[in-house]
Amino acid sequence: MKRSLQQPSRKIKDVRHTTELSSFIPDDADEYRESLLDILERMDTGYWPTIEVKRGWYQLISELNEKLSNQCQNYKIRSLKSSSHQLQFHINLNPSDENKLQGLIKEIMYAIARSQHICEMCGVNSSEKISEEGCKSCGQSGTQVKKRRNKNVSED
């Protein structure tokens, strides 16, 4: 690991001071630029503002963000990434918005389920789980191999 823990936290501070969040928008954002900037602006204080998913999911996370912000204008994002070909999306709410939590979780769970069927690389939709089977369109591999090795993973 090249980065020490000190470095990013100092940079987060800089980001918050200068609000240069646009420099964290992925280069391939294209039509999702605005949405991804909104997502970055929602990153909770102290959390590294990055979009840790690939282009194929930009639409998915943009739609999710729109639904969540419609339900709760001030919701914050703690992390947004891909883990074992599945979307991981952690949020934080103001105490006064706690009553909206269930509704938000429902949307997030739906997006997570969808993420398993959308190729993170090329964005292709599949009726099969791309997370497991891989993508026939671009050749991105799934987790089947990993699953066979790891008996702890059992979900269907």
Q: Which residues bind Zn ion (CB under 5 A)?
A: 119, 121-122, 124, 135, 137-138, 140
Q: Are residues 118 and 60 in contact, defined by beta-carbon separation less than 8 angstroms?
A: yes
Q: Which is nearer to Zn ion, 54 or 76 (CB)?
A: 54
State the burial class of residue 86 (Cβ atoms within 10 Å of its Cβ: 0-12, 13-18, 19+).
middle
Q: 43 or 135: whose CB is closer to Zn ion? A: 135
Q: Least separation, in Å, of the C-beta of 148 and Zn ion?
A: 22
Beta strands in 84-137 (DSSP E): 86-92
What one-letter code names the amino acid at 29? A
Nearest distance in Å: CB 73, Zn ion: 34
Shortest distance, CB of residue 85 to Zn ion, whole angstroms? 11
Of the pair 112, 121, the CB lying nearest Zn ion is at 121
At 76 the three-state DSSP class reads strand
Q: How far is the CB of 53 from Zn ion (least distance, A)?
A: 13
Nearest to Zn ion of 29, 121 (CB atom): 121
CB nearer to Zn ion: give 107 or 120. 120
- Nearest distance in Å: CB 119, Zn ion: 3
Q: Of 29, 85, 34, nearest to 58 (Cα)?
A: 29
Residue with tokens 């943009």: 62
Q: Is 28 exposed, middle or buried (0-12, 13-18, 19+ CB in 10 A)?
A: exposed
